[in-house]
Structure 1
Amino acid sequence: MWKLKVAAEGGGGPLLRSTNRFVGRTVWEFEPDLGTPEQRAEVEKARRDFSDHRFQRRHSADVLMRMQMQQYSKGTPLKLDLPAVKKLGEDEDVTEEAVSTSLKRAINRVSALQAHDGHWPGDCSGPLFLLPGLIITLYVTGALNAVLSSEHQREIRRYLYNHQNEDGGWGLHMEGHSAMLGTTLNYVALRLIGEGPDSGGDDGAAMERGRNWILQRGGATYTTSWGKFWLTVLGVYDWSGNNPLPPEMWLLPYHLPFHPGSS
């Protein structure tokens, strides 16, 4: 099971340094023997619930982090058992008791999620164009398996498949429509961490759907300049296909088709 280490020296490995004793830093580390069978079952249920409803609720809402902050990291489970206030009708009066109960529930919940060093941890998993760059860099430097353990790679696959759109592509972010940049980079990232061309996902056809999305729209060379750059770093696209971009072009209106960020 994964353990959230907050402001912990050594969290993330011996190469991670801090000038403030890791205050405000959170790192997930895998501990195979962590948790009771009941806790592990609860984690797996949360994972499955998210995967089953991923097209209706695109963001995980930090469920695993919240579970650990509320139950596992504080020694004893925290009971958030204040009664819920029923939704008031349009003509119903707001009572003092309802306001007081709602405030207590909110304060209790927020307090439970505060880390011991004082900050509130949070996830930043929305962008879908950053992780592939890390994977490509580790691959070309020969450090992929040294930095990313088999458990890390397993979670990366789970994350990317959970945020694959129904049409087979990936967006620029987890709630976005499929785009050539997101689809190309995430397809490549999955191949680099061991996925075959015709595998993946619950039905074993996620990679095929991703590849078809790319091919049906002209191929990976139709990706944006950032995507072409990463493909070139990987060695599957020639540097001559990359156009130099004067930095002043970023100041142009975004809607122009030759804007560096336009897709």
Structure 2
Amino acid sequence: MSQSFETNSPNEEWESIEDLYYPHSLVQDILWASLHKVLEPILGHWPGNKLREKALCTVMQHVHYEDENTRYICIGPVNKVLNMLCCWIEDPNSEAFKLHIPRIFDYLWIAEDGMKMQGYNGSQLWDTSFAVQAIISTNLGEEYGLTLRKAHEFIKNSQVLEDCPGDLKFWYRHISKGAWPFSTADHGWPISDCTAEGLKAVLLLSKLSLETVGEPLDMEQLFDAVNVILSLQNADGGFATYELTRSYRWVELINPAETFGDIVIDYPYAECTSAAIQALTSFKKLYPEHRRHEIENCISKAAKFIEDIQAPDGSWYGSWGVCFTYGGWFGIKGLIAAGNTYSNCPCIRKACDYLLSKELGSGGWGESYLSCQNKVYTNLPGDKPHNVNTAWAMLALIDAGQVKLETGGAI
């Protein structure tokens, strides 16, 4: 039964639970209720409204800083919409609001069932880096030279060349000079694994002839990328996404999102940590003396982190793909890149056993998105295999040397 907007009571809808994917904690319910019913009336009148004005002014400074440094794309679609609304409320005729409008289309696309808003402004750099690595791995680089040359130019043009302006500590920002974003240079947010994959791609391209792929990336820009990766390692050896892990897990108690968990701080991930190891290992082979001790220490600590977060059953939870096959691929590749082998590393053996235990009778792997939600490996309906999960599992097992030990199934 539908209900008109005019008859809806905001206070009644405040605690509507129809779309409550992650329930609030009791602490959060008490906090939000107190802010809404006690603090809100105080801040609406003098002298509380003076404090609110000052706070809103500070917030708008950060909104404009984010907008300007992402060319009004913003880090993602949620704060894109919020920032745009803030600019409109501040001044509907402002230049800031006008600059927001054309960048809406970076997020919109038309599907068979209507218009959608995607979760990022694209995955251009990420996709291109993996495509380059895939083509070169076939030893057909010369044959597909034009494709690689164009991809090379895109990757070079996508690298972030400067840090954000001003006092980075004041703006709660990490260094970004030398990093690669997930999507485009306009977006510009530095990301650990995107920087790693971008670096891996340009290092591979530098081994091919200039006539085929064009001029290599300047050496100083390679060094800048390495500097960003090294700067993003946490004390526990792991790598998060955009920044160092700055706070504590208990702040999740006040996570206001009802659809996402574990988002209040930037946690370290197996995938990001593995990508960093792989990139630094590739770099070290070509530039063995550049910050050698720092790189070796970083790789050692990162490998230890991957070992430490492995589950007792041999799996790694994949946070950026579906799910345990994805995490297993990165976990194994990271440990192999760090110098471990199937024979000398129990973690790799356990991981291989885990992946093999999930192989279907058809020889493939097919993992449902429900693995991400429930954190328990779940096959696709009907135990159907999926090409992507199968590819991830096979890449991991082949890298681990399992092909020499296993003659049946998909291998």
Q: Same fold (TM over 0.5)?
A: no
TM range, smaller chain: 0.3 to 0.5
Larger Cα-atom Rg: 2
Q: Relative contact order (C-alpha < 8 Å, sep 6+): which is higher?
A: 1
TM-score normalised by the chain length of structure 1 = 0.36
More helix by proportion, 1 or 2?
A: 2
TM-score normalised by the chain length of structure 2 = 0.25
